[in-house]
Structure 1
Amino acid sequence: MFTEKNIPKLIILTPIITVILIAFFNIYFFIQNQNKYFKEESIRVENDYISKQKNILEREIQSIINYINFQVKNNKKLSIEELKNQVLRYTETIRYEKNGYIWIHDTSYYLRAHPFRKNSLNTYDISLKDAVGSFITKEFVNKTIKNPNGVFIEYYWQKPGKINFSKKLGFFRLYQKYNWVIGAGLYIDDIQNSIDKNKELLEKRIDKYIRLVVFISFLVMLVIGIISYIMSRKISKAFKHYQENVQKKEFLLEDMNKNLEKKVQVAIEEVQKKDRAMLHQSRLARMGTMLSMIAHQWRQPLSEVAGILMELETAAKFKKADDVMIKESVEESNKLIQFMSYTIDDFRNFFKPDKKKVYFYIEDSCMEAISLISASVKNSNIKLHYNIKMNYEIYGYKREFAQVLLNLMSNAKDILNQREIKNPRIDLEVDFKDGYAIVIVQDNANGVEEEHLDLIFEPYFTTKSSSQGTGLGLYMSKMIIEKNMGGELSVENTENGALFKIKVKV
């Protein structure tokens, strides 16, 4: 277990053990790689040596052919048969490498030259077999005729002066002028002995390299271990000093924690006061909005009442006011006053919170919100267009849903007035898609600033002055739609302005 008591030991031992493990794995993988390298290099050395031996055979055959061509070209004294006999006897004297020699058959399978088969010269040699029973003369001649420029053939034959057979690699080429098959060969075990010697030298060189690297690795490991031990001791001392300081600070923290709860409680109370102040400010702003809308709703009927009273006053001044006129004026004034009273009731009921969810038609909420804001919008010379394509029932809080629509249209009106947009316009559209009612509120005020798009629904965030907004309207609207009614409220910028979209399951 990691405890404060054994941490100093861990600090000392961990780097040393780490260095040992790293060195061990490095040495292990290094040796593995060197062994792999040795195997690959051995194959390459073997292939290179065999390739060199094949080149020797080709070179020897080419030398004989060059010699024959030279003798044929410069011969002026000997007959053709005498020249052939001279060349054949000369080839029997040639030796190369350890057991290499030259022999010649013609294409009729007759042996013409061989340094170790004198008794078989000029005999029909087609029945000659090697140690495994292959008719080697027939194979030499037939394959060389098919490959006149040279062919390699493996077979088993005795070394000069030996009884046992050894595997041999022969090279044969056709001298077409005399129809001779000229052969040269090297014994594989001689080649393999040279290859083994080369492999042995390579293995010794790699072993020496491995021993050197292992020695250096252990030396480095020892040095690093000593350095790690010294550094770990210093770190351990520093850690102990740090522990002492921590203990002192813990005592101070205990004292501070005793008073922390009181400080937290005070801070919470201050935040709650601030939230209550903000909510109070929000209510005042809503009251201000409501009073402004009531004022706009009352302006026309008040003007009409004033007109009726002026008309009645004028009639009385000229003594034309009779009972009928007075009665009609009173009735008409009562109608207007009653309308104003209903307006007060509408606003008062509109801002009352719903206590339970109900089924209601979207169009009803839309028309309720439009009726409350229409006079205010008209007073600002803003055109309000609404297009209700589909009217479905949804489940939720009817007044709160209407308040969201009113808040979105009110925000659109404020930004249109603030930016002094020419031909200001607010569009309200209701549609249906994939089982959801889609309500869109759009203006032509050039949209929301890009840096504000992600913040617009945050509480207390507002682009208005403190006297015009609290930053809670859109936040509360989002809560009503998404938390209370399980819908979605989003915003995006279009070509002309901001588009707020409400999506609610029908």
Structure 2
Amino acid sequence: MITKIHFTEVEVKFISEKNISKMIIYIFIIIMTTMIFLISYFYVKNTYEDFEIQMEKFVQDQYDDQKSALKKEINTIIDIINYNATKSDEDERELKADTVRLLNNIKFNRDKSNYIFVYQIMNMQGGDNFAKLLVNPNRPDLLGKPISTNYKDSNGKKFREAFLKDIRQKGESFTKYTYNKVYTNEAKMKLSYFRYFKRWNWVIAVGVYVDDIEKEIAINKEHLKKRVQNQVFQNILLFLLFLSMAIVISILISQKIDEVLKSYQESVHSKSQELKELNETLEKRVEQEIEKNREHEQLLVQKSRFIALGEMISNIAHQWRQPLSELSTILMFIKFKYNMGQLDEELMKKKSKEADRVLEYMSHTIDDFRNFFMPKKAKEQFSLKTAMDSIMTIVSSSLSNNRISITICIDNNLKLNTYLNEFEQVILNIITNAKDILIKNKIKKPWIKIDSKEVDENIIIIVEDNGGGIKVEPKSKIFEPYFTTKNGSDGTGIGLYMSKIIVEKNMKGELKVKEGKAGARFEIILPK
């Protein structure tokens, strides 16, 4: 505990109002420097990775270009041979001899050591005497001599066998092998293009040494590398320039913050004095506001009670209308029989019993209403079906008079442990609200359905009607106090508000409203 207090004091001394602007600058500089460093690092890293990718592509393109150039050279020579064959009057043998002399006299590029060489194919399947060398400026010692496909280069590759296989399959071949380079005694890797000239059974070829290609690649690679390095250097300079500008701006901002803080301190001092004075009277103001809210809640509850009383009187009137009519009929019958002189003791006893039955029903109705509105603050366990039957005693006549069909599907075994009267008041509020909507919208064949289900540790009561649904958005607005969709003095807007308070605060449940298939759908979720 002591260590914690000591650390807090050090922390307060480290950051205070006096040095907060400097701390902002330091933190800003550290963050910006770190960001610039990371940006520079990843920029350089990504740039060189891109450079390597570009170089790989460049090398591949260089080899592709060389292959294309070699192929173009051979195609040009074959075109020349075909052209001479059509224009010359010489026979085939003389034309071949002239072509050999022409090809032997073609000068090759000394720097690149590329030259044309020609084989006269003797056996297309290969072997020791598969061909005779007709043209090869690099190997005059082999001219006119038989050539074998079993010959191996310095790496042990039978390259003549390899290109001859491609010739048989597709008439041309690109082959890599080692061969002595012109003007040197060194064996170098060479890339050659071989093309079969079917008319004379020749294979005409031209090659280029790989080290000549690599020289060009190295020159271009160095040039590209320098360009990338210059670009990286320029961007790092820009990053550093940006960091310097950011530091200068942060210093200017820090000075402005100092001015603002100074003004703020003066304002805080002034507000502190006002707050001190306010705190002295705050407790008294809070008590006054609490008292006002309490009075408001009491008025709201009182208003709710008056509304419930009005509903009760209306429902009693509906419930008593038929019994009173029956009682009136009994009295009129007794009076009629008496005037006719036909009222004997047996008839009098019979009609008295009928009157007693009607009066007992009316008394039972009064007990149901009195029990319903009698305040009970203790929780009790009760059957959900019995509670619904009690509610229907109150509201059934009103629904019947308005030709509203009500269907109740409640499991007889479902039980709740909560405030019975408050639960019945919530259900009655929702049914009454549905009844009013059905009457207001003049719904044909109006109905109300009450269903229940058990989910985990909760019981869900669903009340649904076909009144057309709730037209306000959001739908939860109907639970706000004094909100009503009824006209004039028909609605007070506190029935559903009080229902939500009862369910969610007193019963620790949840009251929700949704859009049903034909109207509103209320769901009451209560813990068992």
Q: TM-score range by the shorter chain?
A: 0.7 to 0.9
- Residue correspondences, number: 501
- Alpha-carbon contact 2:476-2:513 (below 8 Å) kept: no
Aligned-residue offset at 1:119:
3.3
Matches within 5 A, 1:108-257: 108=122, 109-126=131-148, 128-137=151-160, 139-140=162-163, 142-143=164-165, 145-146=167-168, 149-257=171-279
Instruction: Please report how far the alpha carbon of residue 20 of structure 1 lies from its aligned counterpart in structure 2 after TM superposition.
Output: 2.9
Letter paired with 1:131: S
Q: CA deviation at 1:36?
A: 1.9
Asked whether 1:55 is paired with 2:68, we answer yes
Contact 2:449 2:465 (8 Å CA) reproduced: no
Match of residue 86 from structure 1: 98
Superposed displacement of residue 452, structure 1: 7.2
CA-CA distance at 1:499 after TM superposition:
5.3
Change (3 A) 1:36 1:271: same
Residues 145-198 of structure 1: CA deviation (Å, up to 9, x unaligned): 415643122121222232221111122222223222222221111221121111
Preserved CA contact (<8 Å) 2:514 2:520: yes
2:4 is matched with none
Q: Distance in 2 between matches of 1:248 and 1:227?
A: 32
| Whole-angstrom distance in 1 between the partners of 2:335 and 2:203 | 148
Q: Cα gap change, 1:96/1:288 in structure 2, threshold over 3 Å: closer, same or farther?
A: same
- Which amino acid is the alignment partner of residue 222 of structure 1? S
Partners in 1 of 2:152 and 2:326 — Cα distance? Answer: 138
Match of 1:394 among 410, 415, 419: 415
Against the structure 1 CA distance between its residues 490 and 183, is the aligned structure 2 distance closer, same or farther, given a 3 Å change threshold?
closer
1:319-468 counterparts in 2 under 5 A? 341-354=363-376, 356-376=378-398, 382=403, 391-396=412-417, 397-415=419-437, 419=440, 421=442, 427=448, 445-451=467-473, 453-464=475-486
Structure 2 CA distance for partners of 1:107 and 1:282, relative to 1, 3 Å: same
- Aligned match of 2:8: none
Aligned equivalent of 2:114 = 100
Bigger shift: residues 256-265 or 466-475: 466-475
Change (3 A) 1:10 1:485: closer
Letter in 2 for 1:100: N
- Cα distance 1:309–1:13, how it changes in 2: closer, same or farther (>3 A)? same
Looking at both structures, which has the greater relative contact order when contacts are Cα pairs under 8 Å and sequence separation is at least 6? 1
Q: Which residue of 1 aligns with 2:126?
A: none
C-alpha distance in structure 2 between counterparts of 1:70 and 1:416, whole Å: 103
**Root-mean-square deviation (Å):** 4.2
Task: State the Cα deviation string for residues 90-114 of structure 1 (Å, max 9, x = none).
Answer: 3222233321222222112222222
- Out of 22, 43, 58, which is 1:9 matched to? 22
Q: Partner residue of 2:299?
A: 277
Partners of 1:395 and 1:485 within 8 A in 2: no
Alignment check: 8 A CA contact 1:391 1:430 kept: no
Contact 1:428–1:439, Cα closer than 8 Å, also in 2: no
**For the residues of structure 2 that align with 1:462 and 1:281, how far apart are their CA atoms?**
15
Amino acid at match of 1:105: Y
Larger mean Cα displacement after TM superposition, 245-254 or 186-195: 245-254
Match of residue 77 from structure 2: 64
Q: How many Å apart are 1:219 and its aligned residue? A: 2.7
Deviations 1:179-220 (A, max 9, x none): 222222211112211211111111122222222222233233
Deviates more, 1:116-125 or 1:396-405: 396-405
1:30 aligns with 2:51: no
Name the % identity: 35
Normalization by structure 1: what TM-score? 0.81
Per-residue CA shift, 1:286-327, capped at 9, x if unaligned?
A: 2333334444555566667777888889999x8979996998
Asked if the contact 1:394/1:505 (under 8 Å) is kept, the reply is no
Question: How far apart are the structure 2 equivalents of 1:240 and 1:358?
Answer: 65
Matched letter for residue 394 of structure 1 = K
SS of the residue aligned with 1:100? coil
1:207-243 Cα distance to aligned partner (Å, 9 max, x none): 2222222223323332333233223322332233223
Structure 2 gap ranges (5+): 1-10, 123-130
Distance 1:113-1:423 versus aligned 2 partners, 3 A rule = closer
- Secondary structure at the aligned position of 1:95 is classed as coil
Deviations 1:68-125 (A, max 9, x none): 334433433x565444333323322223332122222211222222224333322223
Moved more, 1-10 or 473-482: 473-482
- Take 2:481 and 2:155, find their aligned partners in 1: how far apart are those partners? 99
Structure 1, unmatched stretches of 5+, are: none
Query: What's the CA shift for 1:339?
Result: 5.8
Partner of 1:260: 282
Change in CA separation of 1:299 and 1:20 when aligned onto 2, cut-off 3 Å: same
Distance apart, 1:491 and its partner CA:
4.7
- Tell me which of 13, 20, 24 is aligned to 2:33: 20
In 2, are the aligned partners of 1:155 and 1:167 still within 8 Å (CA)? yes
Rate the CA distance shift 1:466–1:349 in 2: closer, same or farther, 3 A: farther
**CA positional deviation for 1:54:** 2.4
Shift of 1:272: 0.2
